[in-house]
Structure 1
């Protein structure tokens, strides 16, 4: 085996899981992974399980590195990981897989730092480790090391180009609203009004389809949590929207997001129901098949934990949709945010989005 990627439900001890995997694979197999909210393969969706993908290839090589200190020094952590990778690889194409601590809250800045370090011609995909919404511990691991506040970087070099595709299932339902008061990942005001009140006003009539009264729900209720996943925010990118998940509501009416949302950012409230989420998963698979110059061998899927909130019992249907279109083995997990950066893009962190990284035969 050349490469092994492991996605572990956060109820398991990742050290023990990693030890078990290492007793099965060869000593020279590169092993990486992280904790996940839910894991899946092309044949099964696992509520509390472990998904393992093994790769043997004559046309690709996998070089791995891990570095810590992500929360305090993003660029330094990326630099440390990149320096541990070889620089004398004689393959025409390179791409990368990225896993990082999902509680670091640095997704967008991390994507830009990796792009600067690897260069604009190296596309990459990956996800933020997750822990079943506990928000307590989201470690990543690489070749025997398990670490929090860490980044795992896998340089994938090959005789062919890896295929990367991305899509989401949300559409705008509100007018644009500018962030007028905020810091870091906390947005206090939109257009001078409490951010949560602006969100409620936008969704109030729309949520009747769920038989919910948004004004009567408590901030911490399961119903409110679901609505915040269905009605997220979007940033207009010109050719589409990038989704931003408001993961919690403050008593002052502020919204805390999974990533920084600077003042001046223009947001629109979005809607993504179950049918549109499954449609977007199918588009990801269809785009990957179309981009491939030949047959695909298999790969990895990074899907947002918010999709599980939206799809609930239908989440397995979305995985089945992927499997039916791709017709190849894959493994994936539900993230706290997805990374996808391709040539020409200026932003690479996503929420409630499906990202596929697939290897051609």
Structure 2
């Protein structure tokens, strides 16, 4: 990728590139007046995604778009995440991979598992979930071929990519066992057997009643925040209190609660497997900002060969931006000051994607994922 530019509007992008023979990758902010039909009628070759906001250097924008001129990258459009039909030959030369997918799809884990199985060893992967803050699923992945929901774009590169992943969220309450869930719907945190002992301790100390997943989460957050959660303000409160999946290596993968369904179950961004162990987490602005600094440092330190840096890509969660408010500028500054004159670009997303070499591909929420492209 080269010649990365920020445009104020789709019209400005078309006017500047309508006679170009290049191929472009586009990140379009959700408030950009995006007329897909108008773009398709041009001679421009394009792939892209609609995201909540775009990032360019030390600023974020809810309008406009970013264009990246493609070089030797190979792009695959996956039209259906439930049946991705991926082929090893399409990724055989890849050393790094960027993924943009429908962040509100219920098939994200299915797709990422399928993708992992066709990739060569040691491929570094990063990406994020496309979609709008309306949290209503709609077509957000596009190319000259069409515009789709429940879809993805993968961008394969022969060049090196070095990744840093951090979230900065802190423990509040837990652990809890997920005893009933279905993809991104969390139904129950009730434990049986050995956990009943732990359950009784928590109830005695906090007065919580483990009725269902929403009530458990609601009680903890209301106790901590002093605020009453209703369906109308669920997301506004939940942005400060994500769930953290506890992995065997002690890594915490964050899940974002975004709503309650008609049955009282919690709707999350991303899947939560039954029998997972989770904690309820709490936001702290200082720790979140520091985590972004740690993420870019990890990425830079991974470049042990000191390869020339071409640019830096960031996928950061929109709910981190909402939580940090005006202080989100500090998060971007923490990253930008570490990369000198290299262009920093990316998106605020509904979920973030990263792996580490031969490890499985993880889908995160409320996390800062930064990649150094060399």
1:350 maps to 364
Inter-partner Cα distance in structure 2 for 1:217 and 1:8: 33
Alignment match of 2:232 (pick from 220, 230, 247): 220
- Are 1:236 and 2:263 matched, yes or no? no
- Are 1:310 and 2:330 matched, yes or no? no
- Judging changes above 3 Å, is the alpha-carbon distance between structure 1 residues 245 and 138 closer, same or farther for their aligned structure 2 residues? farther
Asked if structure 1 preserves the Cα contact closer than 8 Å seen for 2:125 and 2:355, the reply is yes
Comparing 235-244 and 343-352, the one that deviates more: 343-352
Asked if structure 1 preserves the Cα contact closer than 8 Å seen for 2:124 and 2:162, the reply is no
2:95 maps to 94
- Judging changes above 3 Å, is the alpha-carbon distance between structure 1 residues 257 and 190 closer, same or farther for their aligned structure 2 residues? same
SS of the residue 1:307 aligns to: helix
- Judging changes above 3 Å, is the alpha-carbon distance between structure 1 residues 164 and 3 closer, same or farther for their aligned structure 2 residues? farther
Q: 1:211-267: per-residue Cα shift (whole Å, max 9, x none)?
A: xx33x342222xx32321211111112232011111112354321111222221111
**Structure 1: gaps spanning 5 or more residues:** 208-212
Alignment of 1:318-329 (within 5 A): 318-327=331-340, 328-329=342-343
- Are 1:202 and 2:220 matched, yes or no? yes
- Name which one, 1 or 2, has greater alpha-carbon Rg: 2
Alignment of 1:150-299 (within 5 A): 150-158=151-159, 161-191=160-190, 193-207=211-225, 213-214=226-227, 216-221=228-233, 224-237=234-247, 238-292=249-303, 293-294=305-306, 295-299=308-312
Asked if structure 2 preserves the Cα contact closer than 8 Å seen for 1:142 and 1:152, the reply is no
Alignment match of 1:32 (pick from 9, 22, 47): 47
Q: 1:270-305: per-residue Cα shift (whole Å, max 9, x none)?
A: 112222211111111111121123242213211112
Count matched residues. Answer: 330
Inter-partner Cα distance in structure 2 for 1:22 and 1:239: 50
Q: 1:67-124: per-residue Cα shift (whole Å, max 9, x none)?
A: 2122x314x2x34xx65x375x5xxx71111111222222233222111111332121
Please identify runs of 4+ aligned residues in structure 1 that moved more than 4 A.
16-23
The RMSD of aligned alpha carbons is 2.5
SS of the residue 2:110 aligns to: helix
- Judging changes above 3 Å, is the alpha-carbon distance between structure 1 residues 169 and 239 closer, same or farther for their aligned structure 2 residues? same
- Are 1:13 and 2:34 matched, yes or no? yes
TM-score normalized with structure 1 length = 0.83
- Judging changes above 3 Å, is the alpha-carbon distance between structure 1 residues 326 and 19 closer, same or farther for their aligned structure 2 residues? farther
Inter-partner Cα distance in structure 2 for 1:342 and 1:17: 39
Q: 1:40-84: per-residue Cα shift (whole Å, max 9, x none)?
A: 11043212221233466xxxx2111212122x314x2x34xx65x
How far off its partner does 1:323 sit?
A: 0.9
Comparing 278-287 and 244-253, the one that deviates more: 244-253
How far off its partner does 1:18 sit?
A: 4.7
**Structure 2: gaps spanning 5 or more residues:** 3-21, 192-210
Inter-partner Cα distance in structure 2 for 1:130 and 1:315: 20
1:210 maps to none
